[in-house]
Amino acid sequence: MRAMLLGICFWVVGLALPSPGQTFGEITGEVTDSTGGVVVGATVTVTNPQTNFTRQTTTNTAGNYTFPALLPGVYNVRAAGQGFQAAVRNGVELQVQQVARIDFQLNLGTVAETIEVAGGAPLLTTENATVGTVIENRSIVELPLNGRNFLQLVALSPNVNATFADGGAATSRQGGDRASQNFAVAGMRREFNYYTLDGVANTDVDFNTYSFLPSVDALQEFKVQTGVYSAEFGHEATQVNVSTKSGTNEYHGTLFDFIRNNDLDARPLGFTTRVPVSAPFKWNQYGFTLGGPVQIPKLFSGKNHLFFLSNFEGFRLRNQTQVVYSTPPVAMRNGDFSQVLPATKIIDPLNNQPFANNIIPSARFDRAALGLLEFYPTPNISGTSLSNNYLSLQNNKTDKDQFTQRIDFVESSKSSWFGRYSWQDDRQVQPALYLNGHTLAVTVKQAMLANTRILAPNLVNESRFGYSGFYNDYANELQFKRDPIKEFGIGLIDPAPVAWGTPGVTVLGFSGFGDDVNGPFVIYDHTFQWIDNLSWTRGAHSIKMGAEIRSDRFNQTGNQNARGVLTIDNPASGYGFADYVLGLVTRTQDAGSLAISQFRATSQAYFVADTWKVWPNLTIDYGLRYEYTPPWTDKGGSLMNIWFPAGLGTQSNLHPLCAYGKRRFL
């Protein structure tokens, strides 16, 4: 069934205006004379002193002016009219999605006379009803952040519960930092968050996690919107809108390297004497940022027209996780279970008689079970205990690299452009026991282009295009390297190379080993987005309308139980590991094949919003938004299938997805 969403927003607040675009801000206000009468036709000019970007407009018949679609930054605003002294307000800091109201009262005099106000009190948010918090550049750069992850600052916003739980299904299918960066707004689910970067989608369609996490040195600021949005916004309940920095007319750069290691860290507490005092830990996070004007001879000098900002950040982490397991001793691996006498006698399931001296003859050993012992290490902690006898020193490895290039181009006083390309590559190895762990490989590519064009003094068009490609491969350590299922002749379905690895094995009385039931999950998603917004000021009305077309391509390969799960929790011999040696399992689970999805969807959204300034102290803000979100279409015809394995109907213990009853490995 097709899904449609129709939203109508209507509210009355003191001096409210539609929220500007997801990246831009807006400066608006009223120009009056000393008696309070409106000044019609006054010239208002806004200038960014860092780039000398200038835009000009005139007040309308209501004495109002509006500068929509301004990039965040510091601006100077000047108002002048015939027969009046000019008035200037300097140092107006415009934040992402902010509507800054700057009113002017002009005194009689000549235009050559100027009254200048520098700085001033912080601007109150009186121009829209949106509930949200802006985290500006100084906070992002100067506040302590573990790993320089700016999303930790989301917790500074009211009505936000951050880092409250694990990442749910994303933890076992995406892994890494994306799954752990979770927060909830107003008690809603963590999946109800929508991320944008420079006004285009930065949200993966799988679990609504972010796709690209830019370096803090490349950020201008970001805003967390938690409610009462303009009709311009949609998709999810919470908006996290991030803006990158632009270059200026001056060259600026940073070079950084953050270092942590176990030599500098405090000694850990609470470990037993059997565990090393300090686990190896080496953390390096380094990079650079460089921005400034671009000089191209014969076109322009580089001042006031073309600017660049380049950012690179690398991350290297080598740390060790120390985990204690319970593994079977060498004697049991050789069939000698005399250690558990007299409490437990090992019964031969073939004749229901105990083995002599609790020793299983080697002729009865199962080949597949012996082969898998390679991945089940022998105890390395001295003593005879059958529990907590193996210390695993798991050396984790994490490498991350990212690069962002932004270009801003002031074509003229009526047209400006900016574009950005970002790339990120993550590689992680998370070992467990011996070759039982996971690897994570992520590559993100993102590009966007935006244009703001002045069609008329009261008509501004802003358009954007964005592309995001998200590749995520979360798999077993042996992916594409080794196939134990085939190598040892285990009686499970042999998976494709992308799913190679150890099966999950659970043995009553000892720690399990092998890979867990999830994975691999290989995701390669693509998102294309086209956005166009038109702002029109007419009398006491500020009207904004726009459209968004978004095309999502959701591609995933993977499944649960791809390598199978072997469980021994009701041993026929009376002892779990004895059943293992004999090749007997209580039950098995095995996926018939890897699921391959190739889903496609194209969604649409349209909105119109009007701000009607009824009186100077009363504004009515109302809007209408329509969203069409169709169900996924199935390009590969794999949305649903039925699998019938060979022998179905001829073997009583064979099931299409799961086999039950006593079975051997072989």
Q: How far does CA 372 lie from the centroid of its chain?
A: 37
- CA atoms of 419 and 246, how far apart (whole Å): 10
Bridge partners (DSSP) of residue 651 are 648
What residue ranges in 143-251 does DSSP mark as E strands? 160-162, 183-185, 193-197, 200-201, 219-227, 238-244
- CA atoms of 562 and 173, how far apart (whole Å): 13
- Provide the percentage of residues in the chain whose pLDDT is more than 70: 84
- Report yes or no: 2 and 180 within 8 Å, Cβ to Cβ: no
Phi, psi of 346 (to 5 degrees): -85, 120
Phi, psi of 171 (to 5 degrees): -60, -40
pTM attached to this predicted model: 0.82
More confident residue, 253 or 69: 253
Greatest extent of the chain over all pairs of C-alpha atoms, in Å:
114
Q: How confident is the model at residue 469, as a pLDDT?
A: 95
Q: Give the confidence band of 262 by pLDDT, cuts at 50, 70, 90.
A: confident
Work out the average pLDDT over 404-420: 93
Minimal CA–CA distance to 596: which of 537, 640, 653, 566?
Answer: 640
Determine the 3-state secondary structure of 262 from DSSP: coil
Q: How confident is the model at residue 451, as a pLDDT?
A: 95
Residues 568-578: tens digit of each pLDDT: 999 999 999 99
Work out the average pLDDT over 608-621: 82
Q: Which domains, from first to last, does the chain contain? A: 20-118 (2.60.40.10), 131-244 (2.170.130.10), 280-324+391-664 (no CATH)
Q: What token pair was written down for 277? A: 């005092």
Q: How confident is the model at residue 658, as a pLDDT?
A: 38
Checking DSSP bridges between strand 86-94 and strand 114-118, what pairing results, if any?
A: parallel
Bridge partners (DSSP) of residue 203 are 210
SS (H, E, C) 449-511: EEEEEEEECCEEEEEEEEEEEEEEEEEECCCCCCCHHHHCCCCCCCCCHHHCCCCEEEECCCC
Residue 66's contacts (CB-CB under 8 Å, 6 or more residues apart) are: 26, 27, 28, 57, 458, 535, 537, 542
Work out the average pLDDT over 579-600: 89
Q: Which amino acid is at 553?
A: R
- Report yes or no: 217 and 289 within 8 Å, Cβ to Cβ: yes
Omega of the bond leading into 503 within 30 degrees of 0 (cis): no
Q: Is 231 left (phi over 0), alpha (psi -120 to 50) or beta?
A: alpha
Q: How many CB atoms lie within 10 A of CB 396?
A: 16
Task: Indicate the burial class of 75 (C-beta count within 10 angstroms; 0-12, 13-18, 19 or more).
Answer: buried
Work out the average pLDDT over 418-445: 93
Checking DSSP bridges between strand 541-560 and strand 518-538, what pairing results, if any?
A: antiparallel
- CA atoms of 615 and 574, how far apart (whole Å): 86
Minimal CA–CA distance to 304: which of 381, 410, 438, 228?
Answer: 410
Q: How confident is the model at residue 345, as a pLDDT?
A: 94
Range list of H helices, 72-142: 137-142
Omega of the bond leading into 656 within 30 degrees of 0 (cis): no
Minimal CA–CA distance to 287: which of 359, 347, 199, 215?
Answer: 215
What percent of the chain is helix, strand and coil (3-state, nearest 5)? 10, 50, 40
- Report yes or no: 523 and 470 within 8 Å, Cβ to Cβ: yes
Determine the 3-state secondary structure of 171 from DSSP: helix
Residues 109-127: tens digit of each pLDDT: 876 666 666 655 445 555 5
Q: Among 80-94, 109-123, 306-320, 445-459, which is the least confidently predicted range?
A: 109-123
Q: What token pair was written down for 570? A: 């009701």
Q: How many CB atoms lie within 10 A of CB 27?
A: 25
Q: How many CA atoms lie within 13 A of 233 on its CB side?
A: 27
Q: How confident is the model at residue 175, as a pLDDT?
A: 74
Residues 328-351: tens digit of each pLDDT: 999 999 999 999 989 899 999 999
- CA atoms of 504 and 490, how far apart (whole Å): 12
Q: Give the confidence band of 404 by pLDDT, cuts at 50, 70, 90.
A: very high
- CA atoms of 201 and 448, how far apart (whole Å): 10
- Report yes or no: 609 and 616 within 8 Å, Cβ to Cβ: no
Q: How far does CA 664 lie from the centroid of its chain?
A: 44
Q: What token pair was written down for 575? A: 């002892």
Work out the average pLDDT over 136-163: 77
Q: How many CB atoms lie within 10 A of CB 397?
A: 14
Per-residue pLDDT for 1 more than 50?
no
More confident residue, 100 or 529: 529
Residues 514-550: tens digit of each pLDDT: 986 678 999 999 999 999 999 998 888 889 999 999 9
Q: How many CA atoms lie within 13 A of 38 on its CB side?
A: 16
Q: Which amino acid is at 306?
A: L
Q: Among 183-197, 248-262, 392-406, 443-457, which is the least confidently predicted range?
A: 183-197
Q: What token pair was written down for 337? A: 């279970």
- CA atoms of 209 and 215, how far apart (whole Å): 17
Concatenated DSSP letters of 407-425: EEEEEETTEEEEEEEEEEE
Q: How confident is the model at residue 123, as a pLDDT?
A: 52
Q: How confident is the model at residue 15, as a pLDDT?
A: 32
Q: How confident is the model at residue 417, as a pLDDT?
A: 94
- Report yes or no: 129 and 228 within 8 Å, Cβ to Cβ: yes
Q: How far does CA 60 lie from the centroid of its chain?
A: 44
- CA atoms of 361 and 398, how far apart (whole Å): 45
- Report yes or no: 62 and 237 within 8 Å, Cβ to Cβ: no
Q: Which amino acid is at 23?
A: T
* Neighbour-count burial for 554-591, b at 16+ CB within 10 Å, e otherwise: bbbbbbebbbbbbbbeebbbebbbbbbbbbbbbbbbbb
- CA atoms of 337 and 357, how far apart (whole Å): 8
Residues written for the chain: 666
